[in-house]
Amino acid sequence: MLLGSKLHQEAGGNEEAFLKDVVSDLDRCFSVVENHEAKGASGNQGAAPLCHLCNNKSPRFGTQPIVFSFSKIEEATNKFSKENLVAEGGFGFVYKGVLSDGQLVAVKQHKLASRQGDREFKAEVEVLSSAQHRNLVTLIGYCTEGGRRILVYEFVCNGSLNKHLSRKNPKPLDWPSRQNIALGAARGLRYLHEECRIGCIVHRDVRPNNILVTHDFTALVGDFGLARWQARGDTAEQTRVIGTIGYVAPEYAETGQITEKADVYSFGLVLLEIITGRPAFDSYQQPGQQHLPDWVSFSFSSLLLRLCLITFTDCQATPFLAARAAHELLDERIDESSVDEYELINMVTAASLCIQKDPSKRPKMTQVCSSLAVTL
């Protein structure tokens, strides 16, 4: 079920009743977390510095989101000053702020009087109150005073992956940073799909804009407004197709049926973007090459995948051939001397497997993490 939609229907669309349900339902969500260990097998251990350069602490896991008054939000953002405006989109606005204890925060102010905004607000609060991991953005609190829909997150200091991959960025990411970001984002998705105690959570909008990074180039998956929760063992459920062009899995686009394998497909596109530095969809490319997998031609991808999947011990030439092929895909802005060829081959292989048209053939995120983490 889509998080938040059921309560909104039960409230008859009434805004005041809906917002009361948001608050009361949080106690139920958080009790699930309290009754289980908040830190799973992925190394969820306490509040380490979010970024060693900024020395900004992450909020401690296992604490209930704070209910902020609107006056506290105004104080933190200097009354939503233009100087603190970080981003603006169809959802609303994001401001940088500082809480009274010195904690840097990102304040997401949803637009008012929006049914879609209601659903996205509720979904994001429920997911981030129930799922806590070092590679997910942490929700500190929220405000519903006066019908407002405001979310307060930890501030992730170095912007989005999309910003760093942009051709306009004068300082392109080096290979070690790209490898670190890919592995961190994969671990965040693995937690959502396989390790979260309340069940599988499908993000539905995995893309570079929704992967934030620190100055240490640690990745945190964010923006859970479109998230969908699936109980263990649930099969694909049909729903209205929502997502971003270029990242939507083909079976989801065609049938409206959503499973976690749609996220795996989207993550495969993200890996290709990390490798090539090209966007998942580029309308300026000639027809037939606008979608990134099409640019990486089918024949070349098939050859590359065959090369990568051959066991190295079976043929001494395989590592050389695979590395040569993988380097043809590499973002030309990267200093090739910094590239670990084994990591590159593993990432290209993982991307190729993730974007397979048949969802049953796509790997689980556990397998993707294992592939990305393997070193010689």
Question: What is the end-to-end Cα distance of the chain in Å, rounded?
Answer: 43
245 three-state secondary structure? coil
SS (H, E, C) 71-86: HHHHHHHCCCCHHHEE
DSSP secondary structure of 107-122? EEEEPSS-HHHHHHHH
Indicate which residue of 25, 118, 205, 263 is catalytic.
Answer: 205
CA distance 165 to 232: 35
Contacts of 361 (CB under 8 A, 6+ apart): 353
Q: What is the 3-state secondary structure (H, E, C) of 133-176?
A: CCCECCEEEEECHHHCCEEEEECCCCCEHHHHHCCCCCCCCCHH
32-41 contact pairs (CB < 8 A, 24+): 32/130, 32/197, 32/198, 33/62, 33/129, 33/130, 33/132, 33/197, 33/198, 34/62, 36/197, 37/197, 38/62, 38/132, 39/132, 40/133, 40/191, 40/195, 40/196, 40/197, 41/195
Structure tokens at 306: 């065959």
Q: Any bridge partners for residue 85, and if so which? A: 95
Strand locations in 186-252, DSSP E? 200-202, 211-213, 219-221, 228-230, 237-238
Assign residue 46 a region: left if phi > 0, alpha if psi is -120 to 50, beta otherwise?
A: left
Task: Retrieve residue 341's tokens.
Answer: 């060829």
Give strand pairing partners of 94.
87, 108
Q: Is 205 a catalytic residue?
A: yes
Count CA atoms closer than 13 A to 33's CA, side-chain side: 21
Token representation of residue 122: 């509720």
Tokens at residue 227, please?
A: 């998230």
Contacts of 369 (CB under 8 A, 6+ apart): 183, 186, 187, 190
Catalytic residues: 205
